Amino acid sequence: MSVDTAVATAPSIRSGLKIPDHLAVIMDGNGRWAQARGKVRTEGHVEGVKALRRLVDLAIRYGVKHLTVFSFSSENWRRPRDEVNFIFGLLHRFVASDLATLIQNNVRVRIIGTRDGLDDPMSRLIEDVQKKTAANTGLELIVAFNYGGKSEITDAARRIAARVAAGKLSVEDITEETLERELYTFGIPDPDLILRTSGEQRVSNFLLWQGAYSELVFVEENWPDFGEQVFLKALAEYSARSRRFGGIESRSK
Ligand code: FPP
């Protein structure tokens, strides 16, 4: 479906739901989904990719502007090597099989996280998908891959300290914006809503700085079971929240 068609038929307009400009998702529970069915964990990840496709489609249809998904954390390196390789392979296959559709749907892809530990083919893949979708103007799909919030902030602090040490920046001039400029997400608005599946209720080192005022919604379903019903349930909960950003008045998003 093209983005123009999608906007024209956006169900949100009919239902009166509040749609977050930026939705961030912790896609959790692939392993448990598989284990509950007597399958190997990697089968859960394969289903997880299908659920990711459904999410991208829903985000386009409902008019989400920025969608961030947590697909591999810096802590996921602690998993068995085979599983890590499998998830890396999934990113390759996702890009290979879905790039044309993403381009057709006007989706701009940005991959955030450290390039440390990634081999050359993976680094090339990341550059390639970002370059090929850079001119698109629809949904921005941000894939957090090899991402950790603490190391993102630590790296930012290190770069700022280097500028201070080089005499290019004075300590008094360091503001929140100075730090924001050094984050992977510079230029992307902070997430309005962080959704996590599988019943776990924590943020797990995801968008620590950016999520300071995000609404958190947790749903019981495992990620492979994600679809429109779960999406709408999460949006309904988000819509009922009153966002005050530390103040007293409610804002619209
Ligand atoms: C969490 O489930 C999922 C992951 C760590 C991997 C996420 C990957 C996908 C959803 C597939 C899409 C990925 C790419 C690269 C496009 P878990 O394994 O932590 O599940 P568990 O908590 O039940 O063990």
Residue 2 binned pLDDT confidence (cut-offs 50, 70, 90): very low
Q: For residue 189, which of 245, 124, 133 has the smallest C-alpha distance?
A: 245
pLDDT of residue 109: 97
Q: How far apart are CA 129 and CA 121, in angstroms?
A: 12
**Which residue in the block uniquely carries the two structure tokens 């698109």?**
136
Q: How far, in Å, is the centroid of ligand 1 from the Cα of 45?
A: 6
Return the percentage of the chain with pLDDT > 70, whole number: 92
What is the reported pTM?
Answer: 0.92
Select from 87, 88, 202, 218 the residue to mutate for testing ligand 1; criterion: most ligand atoms less than 8 Å from CB: 87
Q: How far apart are CA 88 and CA 145, in angstroms?
A: 9
Exposure class string for 154-176: b at 16+ Cβ within 10 A, else e: ebbeeebeeeeeeeeeeeeeeee
Residue-wise pLDDT tens digits, 225-244: 999 999 999 999 999 998 77
Higher pLDDT, residue 227 or 116: 227
Q: Which domains are assigned to the chain?
A: 3-9+17-148+190-239 (3.40.1180.10)
Residue 10 binned pLDDT confidence (cut-offs 50, 70, 90): low
Q: How far, in Å, is the centroid of ligand 1 from the Cα of 30?
A: 5
pLDDT of residue 7: 46
Select from 45, 84, 142, 225 the residue to mutate for testing ligand 1; criterion: most ligand atoms less than 8 Å from CB: 45
Mean of all residue pLDDT scores within the chain: 92
Tokens standing for residue 239: 């819509």
Exposure class string for 188-198: b at 16+ Cβ within 10 A, else e: bebbbbbbbbb
CA dihedral of 182, 188, 192, 193, whole degrees rounded to 10 = -80
Q: Is 94 near ligand 1, meaning CB less than 6 Å away? A: yes
Containing 14, the helix (H) or strand (E) segment is: helix 11-15
- Cβ-contact 11, 62 below 8 angstroms: yes
Tokens standing for residue 95: 């890009």
Backbone φ and ψ of 111, nearest 5°: -115, 120
Q: For residue 193, which of 5, 64, 36 has the smallest C-alpha distance?
A: 64
Q: Is 69 near ligand 1, meaning CB less than 6 Å away? A: no
Q: Is 109 near ligand 1, meaning CB less than 6 Å away? A: no
Q: Is 20 near ligand 1, meaning CB less than 6 Å away? A: no
Question: Is the model's pLDDT at 112 over the cut of 80?
Answer: yes
Residue 11 binned pLDDT confidence (cut-offs 50, 70, 90): low
Residue 8 binned pLDDT confidence (cut-offs 50, 70, 90): very low
pLDDT of residue 29: 98
Residues 6+ apart with CB under 8 A from 126: 111, 115, 118, 145
Which residue's CA is the closest to the ligand 1 atom numbered 10?
Answer: 48
Residue-wise pLDDT tens digits, 32-62: 999 999 999 999 999 999 999 999 999 999 9
Q: Is 45 near ligand 1, meaning CB less than 6 Å away? A: yes
Does the annotation count 155 as an active-site position?
Answer: no
Tokens standing for residue 191: 């997430």
Q: Is 223 near ligand 1, meaning CB less than 6 Å away? A: yes
Does the annotation count 28 as an active-site position?
Answer: yes
- Cβ-contact 191, 217 below 8 angstroms: no
Question: Is the model's pLDDT at 6 over the cut of 70?
Answer: no
